[in-house]
Amino acid sequence: MEAIKNYISEHKERFISELIDLLKIPSVSADTAFTQDVLDTADAVKKALTDAGCDAVEICETDGYPIVYAEKIIDSALPTVLVYGHYDVQPADPINLWTSPPFEPVIKKTDKHPEGAIFARGACDDKGQMYMHVKAMEYMVRTNQLPCNVKFMIEGEEEVGSSNLAIFVANHKEKLANDIILISDTGMIANDVPSITTGLRGLSYVEVEVTGPNRDLHSGLYGGAVANPINILTKMIASLHDENNHITIPGFYDNVEELSKEERAEMAKAPFSLENYKNALAIDAVYGESGYTTNERNSIRPTLDVNGIWGGYTGEGAKTVIASKAYAKISMRLVPNQDWKEITDLFKKHFESIAPEGVKVVVKPHHGGQGYVTPINTVGYQAASKAYETTFGKKPIPQRSGGSIPIVALFEKELNSKTILMGFGLDSDAIHSPNEHFGVWNYLKGIETIPYFYQYYTELFKK
Amino acid sequence: MEAIKNYISEHKERFISELIDLLKIPSVSADTAFTQDVLDTADAVKKALTDAGCDAVEICETDGYPIVYAEKIIDSALPTVLVYGHYDVQPADPINLWTSPPFEPVIKKTDKHPEGAIFARGACDDKGQMYMHVKAMEYMVRTNQLPCNVKFMIEGEEEVGSSNLAIFVANHKEKLANDIILISDTGMIANDVPSITTGLRGLSYVEVEVTGPNRDLHSGLYGGAVANPINILTKMIASLHDENNHITIPGFYDNVEELSKEERAEMAKAPFSLENYKNALAIDAVYGESGYTTNERNSIRPTLDVNGIWGGYTGEGAKTVIASKAYAKISMRLVPNQDWKEITDLFKKHFESIAPEGVKVVVKPHHGGQGYVTPINTVGYQAASKAYETTFGKKPIPQRSGGSIPIVALFEKELNSKTILMGFGLDSDAIHSPNEHFGVWNYLKGIETIPYFYQYYTELFKK
């Protein structure tokens, strides 16, 4: 299959420019200011899937943003791969920290991407990685090498919790029936250390509001005499971790899977340099739960982070005010066996219970999802591993990720299929951050690797 | 002096409309977007003082906003009153909580102001209270009843710390020489319970910045493994108070004046209803330092309040990010004997010392000022007390305020003069808050009372 390399080489410029066009549409699902852009992106994805040779490409309406569905069924005796991805992106702010505008993609070289990387919101998460599948499909269809049936399901609400996708999946089990689900929305260790993600953390995302007095007050006249919602909020949030950085919510750890010494020793073999990690982030020390390594803290352990906080006067200069309200967005990353709805309830109950007299507290659950662990002894994993080995020249390492793709656990439940997470991004690609990018090499490598997965999976499946 | 009542009655509409014109100019000194408006307000004040009959009205440039100076010297043998006020105002945000636009003054009736109150940013603090003096001056000059010499010094940076006024005062001691300083920038207990402020708290205002990783990070990939600046900031702020709501900064209370049992018993006699206080703020409980009453907490005790906090994603929806930076604006109200510069240093040293590894902390002092206590056995206090008694029909109560006018201590030091704080606003006038207002009755009552102060002060001074 040197053919794929030649095909990529021939169409490389077009593959890049098509992705750049897709990245220009600001499909920020979290912000209603971008509603039309998100809808336009769905249309663009529909067109791309049609051009790639899919049949029955359709925009499936939901109560939120639509799901783009497509399929190419060549023989019902052959296995069916369901490709999932998302066309929505994270908000771009803080915009002022971008070195180029988030929706005006440019290619720049970086230390890790000497062949250049495409800088744009969504470049890696997930437009770029999703589009690899579209281009791999194009190659397989145009060269008559598609070895099995394929279905595409590309949604527009991954960054806001996929709640409508969950309904869609539950209502279309037959339409979505498949043998294996393939997703590229994760990363790998390094360009010369390929890896396959075998675990994802779950997520519970909430917003809290603390209300004190019914109006903003002069901090001189009222300071010290009434509960200041910001001070209270800081106290409440601070109390959520103890001095060992364990989370203090009663029951939080009840169902946490404890890995054996052997499993932890196996994990510790993954290449990792604490010095490089600290240098890349410009921090003088790491920080986290006592008793666990950095790689354990961000993969096998649950966490609680404030993602945003605001209240009072945040403009230029000084204002001596006691705010009436203070807010925070808080998310918890969960590990397998922790149920996100149960954890959300535990958080809400606990957070409300620690509110002192003098304030009112509201906890509003945003969204969440279960954690997931993929077994590595399946045909799907073996096909993926062999595909990486073919194109990277070395066997990929199985690796647990700290991130969440809430829908993966749901797929298993509703569609009874395992998911293979073939990610081609790097941790340093700044997804969810300013200056998100995706290596051109990685993009093309993904397009090259995916057809091998189809080939090997179909071969192994037959056996 | 029924004459003053008649004069007010005759010119009432003009007095109100002139103040409304002044309130229309958004002289927000904290925000450079309003620079021209602040300068325009200085010009308007200059014109008003000229129209009121002052001589030698001038705009005195500083490194910041100008000071409007005016005087009328009638006889060097007579005492000289220096009137201080400010023409700048607090920022208006949160704008969406105003029931009418902050710079489009309207008169609305309220429970406490059945004759109507002017709603606008600066109505009470301090344009309205400052303008009472301009109109009282007009009355005394036009009716030839000015009994002494008068100087006016109206600044434009009170809400941002008066740092240029301090320089101006130090450099113009002769020009500003006076026997007593008169300020209306405080409040009174109620329209039927007149009071004179005899104590002000000092202030130290700082901004803190906590920096963790060099960029915003994906909270799934890094959550739990690096110090999250927002979580750290909440922990650091929370630790600034202990379980009794004492401030934990080492040395913070070293110079705090402890009042005797007798003094506290005297204070406790001021009319105060905890139920009314809680109802007015819609809170179910007050909150503060153990061992002190509400009125003590907000007057004789130092406090520490967060005035603003921000970091991470604060927009609509959810973003799973670990912010690179988190910020807070923090102010401390100080009591007499606490030196604001020393306290600022103590705060800075302590706050930096409690930063954990993995973050960098910067403490940027904004501004501050010393606390102040006015003796009540002076000619100035007696003249003011008699003036209130004349127009309100009852003797005013001396009262310590929790607020700060940082410049008052400096006046005493540089100009060797005591200050009389004749305030006519109410605590419920929402200064520094949305829907700031100033009772029309209070405005006119101030204009009526001030000339009596001049009269009694000149009489008592001669003795």
Q: Please judge whether B283 and A221 are an interchain contact, meaning their C-beta atoms are less than 8 angstroms apart.
A: no
Identify the CA nearest to A112 among candidates A192, A8, A184, A187: A192
Q: Tell me the Ramachandran region of residue A436: left when phi exceeds 0, alpha when psi lies from -120 to 50, beta otherwise.
A: beta
Contact assessment for residue A297 and residue B225, using Cβ atoms and an 8 Å cutoff = yes
Question: CB-CB: which of B228, B329, B357 is closest to A285?
Answer: B357
3-state secondary structure chain B: CHHHHHHHHHHHHHHHHHHHHHHCCCCECCCHHHHHHHHHHHHHHHHHHHHCCCEEEEEECCCCCCEEEEEECCCCCCCEEEEEEECCECCCCCHHHCCCCCCCCEEECCCCCCCCEEECCCCCCCHHHHHHHHHHHHHHHHCCCCCCEEEEEEECCHHHCCHHHHHHHHHCCCCCCCCEEEECCCEECECCECEEEEEECEEEEEEEEEECCCCCEEHHHHCCCCCCHHHHHHHHHHCCECCCCCECCCCCCCCCCCCCHHHHHHHCCCCCCHHHHHHHHCCCCCCCCCCCCHHHHCCCCCEEEEEEEEEECCCCCCCCEECCEEEEEEEEEECCCCCHHHHHHHHHHHHHHCCCCCCEEEEEEEEEECCEECCCCCHHHHHHHHHHHHHHCCCCEEEECCCCCCHHHHHHHHHCCCEEECCCEEHHHCCCCCCCEEEHHHHHHHHHHHHHHHHHHHHHHHC
Residues B264, B380: one domain?
A: no
Question: Does A267 map to a domain?
Answer: no
Q: Indicate the residue among A341, A369, A397 that finishes a domain.
A: A369
Q: Compare CB distances from A307 to B239, B284, B312 and report the shortest one's residue.
A: B312
Q: Do A434 and B216 touch (CB under 8 A)?
A: yes
Nearest CA in chain A to B331: A320
- pLDDT above 70 for B1: no
Torsion angle of the four alpha carbons B374, B376, B379, B385, in this order, in degrees rounded to the nearest 10: 110
Sheet holding A117-119, edge to edge: A106-108, A117-119, A437-439
Q: Look at the block and give the residue holding tokens 């595909």.
A: A387
Same domain, B26 and B74: yes
A370: pLDDT confidence band, cut at 50, 70 and 90?
confident
pLDDT (0 to 100) of residue A71: 98
Best A96, A286, A292, A432 member to test B by mutation, with max B CBs in 10 Å, is: A432
Closest CA–CA distance from residue B82 to any residue of chain A (Å): 25
Are A318 and B331 in contact (CB < 8 Å)? Answer: yes
Would the CB atoms of A331 and B320 count as touching at under 8 Å?
yes
> Is residue B238 less than 8 Å (CB to CB) from chain A?
yes
Q: What does the H/E/C string look like for A213-253?
A: CCCCEEHHHHCCCCCCHHHHHHHHHHCCECCCCCECCCCCC
* Residue B96 CB contacts under 8 Å (≥ 6 apart), including other chains: none
Asked which of A369, A399, A421 is the last residue of a domain, the reply is A369
Residue A156 DSSP class: S
Whether A217 and A97 map to the same domain: the answer is no
Tens of pLDDT along B338-370?
A: 999 999 999 999 999 999 999 999 999 998 888
Residue A237's closest CA among A250, A248, A251?
A248
Angstroms from B301 CA to nearest CA on chain A: 8
Q: How far from the centroid of its chain's Cα atoms is residue B272's Cα?
A: 22
Q: How far does the CA of residue A351 sit from the closest CA of chain B (Å)?
A: 15
Average pLDDT over residues B56-73: 97
d(CA A138, CA A132): 10
Cβ(A131)–Cβ(A48) under 8 Å?
Answer: yes
Residue A218 has pLDDT above 90, yes or no: no
B42 plus B108 within the same structural domain: yes
Q: How far apart are CA A202 and CA A372, in angstroms?
A: 7
What are the tens digits of pLDDT across the range B416-457? Answer: 999 999 999 998 899 988 999 999 999 999 999 999 999 999
Residues of B in contact with A241 (CB under 8 A): 231, 235
Map residue A288 onto helix, strand or coil: coil
* Residue B256: burial class (beta carbons within 10 Å; 0-12, 13-18, 19+): middle
B103 and B248 both lie in a single domain? no
Contact A379, A79 (CB under 8 A): no
Which domain CATH number covers A304? 3.30.70.360
CB A449 within 8 A of CB A391: yes
B333, A29: Cβ pair inside 8 Å?
no
Measured N-to-C along each axis, helices A163-171 and A407-415 cross at an angle, to the nearest 10 degrees, of 10
Measure Cα distances from B448 to A178, A201, A272, B1 in Å.
Answer: 87, 71, 78, 10
Nearest CA in chain B to A243: B235
Residue A283 lies in a domain: no
Q: How far is A76 from chain B (nearest CA, A)?
A: 38
Average pLDDT over residues B117-123: 98
Q: Are residues B59 and B168 in the same domain?
A: yes
Query: Does A366 touch chain B if contact means CB atoms closer than 8 Å?
Result: yes
- Rounded to two decimals, the ipTM of the complex is 0.78
Structure-block tokens of residue B189: 């207990």
Q: Residue A336 domain-assigned?
A: yes
pLDDT-above-70 percentage for chain A:
100
Are A318 and B303 an interchain contact pair (Cβ–Cβ within 8 Å)?
A: no
**Measured between CB atoms, which of A207, A241, A309 is closest to B326?**
A309
The string of pLDDT tens digits covering residues A31-82 is: 999 999 999 999 999 999 999 999 999 999 999 999 999 999 999 999 999 9
The answer to whether the CB atoms of B307 and A315 lie below 8 A apart is no
**CB neighbourhood size of A360 (10 A):** 15
Q: Are residues B288 and B404 in the same domain?
A: no
Question: Could you say which of B285, B308, B322 has the minimum Cβ distance to residue A358?
Answer: B285
Are A448 and A358 in a shared domain? no
Could you tell me how many CB contacts below 8 A there are between chain A and chain B?
A: 380
Measure in Å the smallest separation between the Cα of A323 and chain B Cα atoms.
7
Tell me the C-alpha distance between B352 and B341, whole Å.
Answer: 16
Q: Is A347:A338 a contact under the CB 8 Å cutoff?
A: no
Contacts of A358 in chain B (CB under 8 A): 283-287
Chain A residue with the nearest C-alpha to that of B206? A318
Distance of CA A210 to the CA centre of its chain: 29
- In a shared domain, residues B161 and B125: yes
Choose the mutation target among B233, B253, B303 for the interface with A, i.e. most A CBs under 10 Å.
B303
Kindly list the residues from chain A whose CB atom is less than 8 angstroms away from the CB atom of residue B326: 309
Inter-chain touch B308–A402, beta carbons under 8 Å: no
What is the average pLDDT value for chain B, to the nearest integer? 94
Q: Based on the domain organization, do A305 and A383 belong to the same domain?
A: no
Q: Are A165 and A157 in contact (CB under 8 A)?
A: yes
End of a domain among A313, A338, A369? A369
Mean pLDDT, chain A, whole residue set: 94
**Closest chain A residue to the Cα of B237, Cα to Cα:** A234
- A408 and A447, same domain (yes or no): yes
- A168-203 tens-digit pLDDT: 999 999 999 999 999 999 999 899 989 999 988 999
Q: Do A227 and B97 touch (CB under 8 A)?
A: no
Structure tokens at B440: 């029309």
Judge if B154 and B118 occupy the same domain: yes
Helix (H, G, I), strand (E, B) or coil at A71: strand
Evaluate whether residue A16 is within a structural domain.
Answer: yes
Q: Is A329 on the interface with B (CB under 8 A)?
A: yes
Selection from B328, B356, B11, B180 nearest residue A285 by Cα: B356
Ranges of beta strands (E only) in A50-162 are: 55-60, 67-72, 80-86, 106-108, 117-119, 149-155
pLDDT tens per residue across span B293-335:
999 998 899 999 999 999 999 988 888 899 999 999 999 999 9
As a three-state string, the secondary structure of A188-203 is ECECCECEEEEEECEE
| B312–A226 C-beta distance less than 8 A | no
Give the best residue of B95, B330, B401, B433 to mutate against chain A (max A CB count within 10 A).
B433
**Token pair of B43 as six digits:** 């010009």
> How far is A348 from A362, CA to CA, in rounded Å?
8
User: Any chain B CB within 8 A of the CB of A327?
Assistant: yes
Report CB contact under 8 Å: A222, B402.
Answer: yes
Tokens of A11: 């169409």
Say whether A311 and B308 touch across the interface (CB within 8 A): yes
CA distance A404 to A334: 9
Amino acid A133: pLDDT: 98
Stretch B202-230: mean pLDDT: 94
- Contact by Cβ (8 Å): A113, A441: yes
Question: Position of tokens 């912000």?
Answer: A31
Do B307 and A313 make contact, defined as CB atoms within 8 angstroms? yes
Query: Does residue B284 belong to the interface with chain A, where contact is any CB pair within 8 Å?
Result: yes
Per-residue pLDDT of A240-297, as tens digits, reads 999 999 999 999 999 998 888 988 888 888 888 999 999 999 999 999 999 999 999 9
Taking the C-alpha atoms of residue B54 and residue B81, their distance in angstroms, rounded to an integer, is: 13
Residue A224 backbone zone (phi > 0: left; psi -120 to 50: alpha; other: beta) = left
Q: List the CATH number of the domain containing A381.
A: 3.40.630.10
Q: For residue A218, which residues of chain B lie inside 8 Å, CB to CB?
A: 403, 431-433
What's the whole-number mean pLDDT along residues B11-39?
97
Across the interface, of A161, A310, A433, the residue whose CB is closest to B218 is: A433
Q: How far is A371 from chain B (nearest CA, A)?
A: 12
- Find where tokens 């790491």 sit: A286
Could you tell me which chain B residue has the CA closest to the CA of A244? B224
Strand bridging mode A419-421 / A321-322 = unpaired
Asked if the model's pLDDT at residue B245 lies above 60, the reply is yes
* Burial label, A254 (beta-carbon count in 10 A; 0-12, 13-18, 19+): exposed
- Write out the residue range of the structural domain in which residue B288 sits: 258-295
| Cross-chain Cβ contact B315/A30 below 8 Å | yes
> Which one is predicted more confidently, B405 or A114?
A114
pLDDT in tens, A302-352: 999 999 999 999 988 888 899 999 999 999 999 988 999 999 999 999 999
**Total number of domains constituting chain B:** 3
List of chain B residues whose C-beta atoms are within 8 Å of the C-beta of residue A159: 318-319
Query: What Å distances lie between residue B119 and B34, B48, B426, CA to CA?
Result: 20, 21, 13
